[in-house]
Amino acid sequence: LTNLNTSKWGKEKFYFLNEVDSTNNYAKKLASEGKPEGTVIVAEEQSAGKGRLSRKWISAKGKGIWTSFILRPNILPNFAAQITLVMAVGMIKALEKNLGVSAKIKWPNDILINDLKVCGILTEMSAEIDRINYVIVGIGLNVNQSNDDFPDEIQDSATSLKICLGKEIKRVQMLQVILEEIEKVYNLYLEKGFSEILDEWKNNSCTLGQEVIVKMPKEIIEGMAIDIDSGGCLIVKDKENIIHKIIAGDVLVRKK
């Protein structure tokens, strides 16, 4: 990354790995050894890429951007869910800036183009009751896959930048813009707080104002996604007008 225009991210510590189990795991190890905020790990291939809710994340060699960052935000652990939303806004900006693509965010962390998932974000944290030790943000962006590269189970729901734009995309340049845009929104978040970023999140959301089905381990809730609260939770109003606050779950947006 020769012309990286960030102040910190990827400048102090940048790890480029050919193969790793998961860049998030690698980042955790580095974070527990004390590596600073802004440390970036990128891998060509992950043998055990992790998705949310203990799913696998397919991370074929050279096809995508598989990256993790170490953050050390001075916020209370309760607010850590905000970080995922901040990162999603950064990704939307990066895709817009580098490729002119207008992508949408599905709560909490999916980035979609034409209703198909192109990117996922996995946030993990180590914290005491009143203090965050570190947050690891892992981003998986499908870049140069063809439809056949995706396993059958996800062919109907996944896409790549190449499929959307009809041409190969330069991964190095894309990564550079991601680091720049994510650093910007993250710093804005630390300086000005969550509300401005939340507004941007809402403007780019395909979840709010929609009828949704939310699947959680023990229950399923159907209703209207009416808001996101300051903790990053999704607020859903069901048919009986009961308000549900969703911390984690799988959201299906009902087609109209």
Q: Which chain residues interact with ligand BTN by CB under 6 A?
A: 22-24, 46, 49-52, 55, 57, 59, 66-68, 109-110, 120-122, 138-140
Q: Please give the structure tokens belonging to residue 112.
A: 């979609």
Q: Which is nearer to ligand BTN, 16 or 230 (CB)?
A: 16
Q: Tell me which residue of 103, 79, 83, 81 sits closest to 91, measured CA to CA.
A: 103
Q: Which is nearer to ligand BTN, 82 or 109 (CB)?
A: 109
Q: Which is nearer to ligand BTN, 10 or 120 (CB)?
A: 120
Q: Which is nearer to ligand BTN, 46 or 205 (CB)?
A: 46
CB of 116 to ligand BTN, least distance (A): 13
Quote the Cα angle for 217-67-128, to 5°: 55
> Does residue 133 sit in helix, strand or coil?
strand
CB of 140 to ligand BTN, least distance (A): 3
Q: Is 117 annotated as a binding residue?
A: yes
Q: Is 210 annotated as a binding residue?
A: no
Q: Please give the structure tokens belonging to residue 140.
A: 């998986």
Q: Is 157 annotated as a binding residue?
A: no
What distance in Å separates the CA atoms of residue 148 and residue 166, rounded to the nearest whole number? 15
Q: Is 46 annotated as a binding residue?
A: yes
Q: Is 205 annotated as a binding residue?
A: no
CB of 129 to ligand BTN, least distance (A): 27
A 10 A CB-CB count for 77 gives 16
Residue length of the chain: 256
What distance in Å separates the CA atoms of residue 112 and residue 160, rounded to the nearest whole number? 10
